[in-house]
């Protein structure tokens, strides 16, 4: 599995679909929107509140908003036409794996990383096995320690008398 090839395939799919959706909407992507789509900015750092100063307001970026709207429209259109297609889920998983900014666009569009139904079953089973094994080891250790302490108590009086007889 080549992560670079997967990333390139996912990028070409999503960028192509957003471009097609823009053409279908009657207004193709401008050069600025195409550049923005190819070089999405990373997410901005979160502002912690209470902050001594209110955050500065940033003007709306119409091109950025249009790309997000086109991405959502393309995703919903594809899901309606072919619900069994896994192209968007594949692209979303690849973007999340590579920490690519396009994952934010797909998440906002509604793409989800779906886990198989048996994933939760295996996780629960593994947790139960771990708990059972741990409790068994604790009980076994408790029995060994209690058996050992009983033997020490039984032998302790005999040792004292044996030591006493020697004197």
Three-class DSSP labels, 30-98: CHHHHHHHHCCCCCCCCCCCCCCCCCCCCCCCHHHHHHHHHHHHHHHHHHHHCCCCCHHHHHHHHHHHC
Who has greater pLDDT, 56 or 163?
Answer: 56
Alpha-carbon gap, residue 112 to 92, rounded angstroms:
7
Cβ count within 10 A of residue 2: 8
Mean per-residue pLDDT for 146-167?
58
Least confident span in 50-64, 83-97, 102-116: 50-64
pLDDT in tens, 11-26: 999 999 999 999 999 9
Burial class (CB in 10 A: 0-12, 13-18, 19+), 16: exposed
Burial class (CB in 10 A: 0-12, 13-18, 19+), 73: middle
Least confident span in 19-28, 132-141, 157-166: 157-166
Scanning the structure block, which residue is given the tokens 């999340």? 96
Look over the chain and give the mean of its residue pLDDT values, rounded to a whole number.
82
Query: 40 pLDDT band (50/70/90 cuts)?
Result: confident
Q: Which one-letter DSSP state was computed for residue 61? A: -
């Amino acid at each position: 599995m080549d992560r670079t090839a997967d990333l390139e395939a996912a990028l070409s799919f999503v960028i192509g679909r957003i471009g097609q959706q823009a053409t279908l909407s009657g207004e193709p992507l401008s050069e600025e929107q195409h550049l923005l789509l190819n070089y999405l900015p990373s997410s901005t750092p979160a502002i912690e509140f209470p902050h001594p100063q209110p955050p500065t307001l940033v003007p709306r970026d119409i091109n950025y908003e249009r790309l997000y709207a086109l991405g959502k429209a393309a995703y919903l259109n594809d899901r309606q036409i072919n619900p069994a297609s896994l192209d968007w889920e594949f692209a979303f998983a690849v973007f999340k794996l590579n920490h690519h900014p396009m994952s934010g666009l797909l998440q906002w569009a509604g793409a989800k990383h779906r886990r198989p139904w048996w994933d939760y079953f295996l996780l629960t089973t593994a947790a139960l096995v771990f708990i059972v094994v741990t409790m068994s080891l604790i009980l076994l250790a408790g029995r060994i320690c209690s058996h050992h302490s009983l033997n020490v108590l039984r032998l302790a009086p005999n040792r004292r008398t044996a030591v006493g007889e020697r004197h």
